[in-house]
Amino acid sequence: MDTTVENKYTFKDFASDQEVRWCPGCDDYVILRAMQKALPEIGVKKEDIVFISGIGCSSRFPYYMDTYGMHSIHGRAPAIATGTKLANPNLSVWVITGDGDSMAIGGNHFIHALRRNVDLNILLFNNEIYGLTKGQFSPTSLVGQKTKSSPYGNTQPPFSAGELAIGAQARFFARIGGNTPKEMTQIFIEAEKFKGTSLIEVMQNCPIFNDGCFDQFTDKAVRADKQLFVEHGKPMIFGKDRNQGLVLNGLKLEVVAIGENNITEEDILVHDAKEQDPTLHQMLVRLDYPKVMGVIRSFNDITLEERKDAQTQEVKSNSKFRKTDDLFFSGDIYEVE
């Protein structure tokens, strides 16, 4: 069924009548606006869009979108969304989650959703802190980080969302800074177009409990030099002057300067997001410098609903049962006079 329409919507069509209640200066506003701008471009009918969230600051998101939505319970949004998508594959289903919601209390649903490859878009707001419960460390907080529940420093090593996701068979993983709305909008569009589970990690600044935690690579002044924005089929070049690039040296990625030591653009690795083997994608995810943004992995694969649908069609075409009567009155039945 074709659920797309011509570009008749503007971002305003997706804003609900509810007052947005995040803290002033929060990146969540940027993400909300980027989504409201992405949806008209994607062109799916409003009534076919569903936002499902768990618990946390980010999970208030569905209330602000004038689509169908469910603000559910902590950590369970991927499982709810899986049910919604399997029940009606025509819907465009988005999961809104945070670092605690997806990787602590909801870790199990998160990895299994990725493994199954249902056509969902999971939007992960990672701020490396618990915001709504007012400042405890999260599963992505750094070792040593001082928080309300770790006054002497966090002792638990963090997850990397991308590493975890790719380890859990994620076919699509993208990462973006919370202060780059234009690129974010483009990534949302790409994620929706991808058939299968798409995970987008937004490095989202919490101005209240973890302010500036991503500044070393998201701050406008250093962004161009500290971030590599990858695009499929293009060389991995970054830097204000576009003169830095990545090469593979043995089993490690290495930053090289173009124009030095006879290195030319030709030597720089070309990004292949569609490669099935996730080895290089994992290495890009793990890199601290430069911090890799953009669509890191986008491997096309059959979705769970496609598999299930094919099986159902086959069973239906081979089965002698059309109505429940056919089943109930089949096999070992007997008459009592």
Partner 1 sequence: MATTEIKHQPEVLEAVIIRFVGDSGDGMQLTGTQFSDTSAMFGNDIATFPNYPAEIRAPQGSLYGVSGFQVHIGSVEISTPGDEVDLLVAMNPAGLKTNLHAVKPGHTIIVDTDAFTKKNLEKAQYDSNPLEDGSLENYRVIEVTMTSLTKEALKDVEGLDNKSITRSKNMFALGMVYWMYDRSTDHTIAFFKNKFKTKPQLIEANTKVLNTGYYFAETLELIPNSYTVAPAKMESGTYRIIMGNTATAWGFLAASEKCGLDLFLGSYPITPASDILHELAKHKHFGVKTFQAEDEIAGITSAIGASFAGNLAITTTSGPGLALKGEALGLAMMIEMPLVVVNVQRGGPSTGLPTKTEQSDLLQTLYGRNGESPVIVLAASTPSNCFDFAYEAAKLTIEHMTPVVLLSDGYIANGSAPWKIKSVSDMPDINNNIIHKAKENWHPYDRNEKTLARDWAIPGTPGLEHRVGGLEKDRISGNVSYVPDNHEYMVNIRAEKIMRVQNSIPELTTAFSDEGDLLVIGWGGTYGSLYSTVKHIKEEGFNTIGFAHFNYINPLPKNTAEVLKRFKKIVVCELNNGQFAKVLKLNFNDFNILQFNKIQGLPFGNEELVQKFKQLVK
Continuous segment of H or E residues that includes residue 123: strand 120-126
Nearer to partner 1, 18 or 300 (CB): 18
DSSP character string of 196-229? S-EEEEEE---TTTSTTTTHHHHSTTTHHHHEEE
Instruction: Kindly tell me which residue out of 11, 33, 41, 71 binds partner 1, with binding defined by CB under 8 A.
Output: 71
Min separation Cβ 88 and partner 1, Å: 4
Q: Which among 227, 254, 253 has a CA at the least distance from the CA of 238? A: 227
User: Taking CB under 8 A as the rule, does residue 332 contact partner 1?
Assistant: yes
To partner 1, the closest distance from the beta carbon of 73 in angstroms equals 5
Residue (109 or 291) nearer to partner 1, CB:
109
Site string for partner 1, 92-111 (x = CB under 8 A): ----------------xx--
Those residues with Cβ within 8 angstroms of residue 136's Cβ, 6 or more apart along the chain or in another chain: 129, 130, 147, 148, 149, 150
Please report, as a single letter, which amino acid is at residue 191: A
CA-to-CA dists, residue 26 to 44, 72, 282, angstroms = 28, 22, 29
Site for partner 1 (CB under 8 A): which residue of 22, 30, 39, 67? 67
Of 26, 39, 80, 123, the residue at the interface with partner 1 (CB under 8 A) is 80
Q: Does 2 bind partner 1 (CB under 8 A)?
A: no
- DSSP state, residue 68: E
How far, CA to CA in Å, does 282 sit from each of 210, 217, 226, 259, 336? 26, 19, 18, 28, 68
Do you know the residue count of the chain? 337
Q: Which of 32, 50, 123, 199 binds partner 1 (CB under 8 A)?
A: 50
- Binding to partner 1 in span 269-308, by CB under 8 A: 308
By CB under 8 A, name the one of 8, 10, 47, 265 that touches partner 1.
47
Contact between residue 145 and residue 153 where contact means Cβ atoms under 8 Å apart: yes
Residue selected from 40, 56, 62, 178 as contacting partner 1 according to rule CB under 8 A: 62
> Burial, 316: exposed, middle or buried (Cβ in 10 Å; 0-12, 13-18, 19+)?
exposed
State yes or no: residue 81 binds partner 1 (CB under 8 A): yes
Crossing angle for the helix pair 77-87 and 107-116, to the nearest 10 degrees: 30
Q: 231 vs 326, which CB is nearer to partner 1?
A: 326
Comparison of 8 and 148: residue with beta carbon closer to partner 1: 8
Pattern of binders to partner 1 over 159-198, x per CB under 8 A?
----------------------------------------
The C-alpha atoms of residue 146 and residue 152 are separated, in whole angstroms, by 6
Segment interacting with partner 1, rule: CB under 8 A, options 58-66, 232-240, 244-252, 282-290: 58-66
The footprint of partner 1 (CB under 8 A) covers: 16, 18, 45-50, 52, 62-63, 65-73, 76, 79-88, 90-91, 108-109, 112, 308, 311-312, 315-316, 319, 321-325, 327-329, 331-337
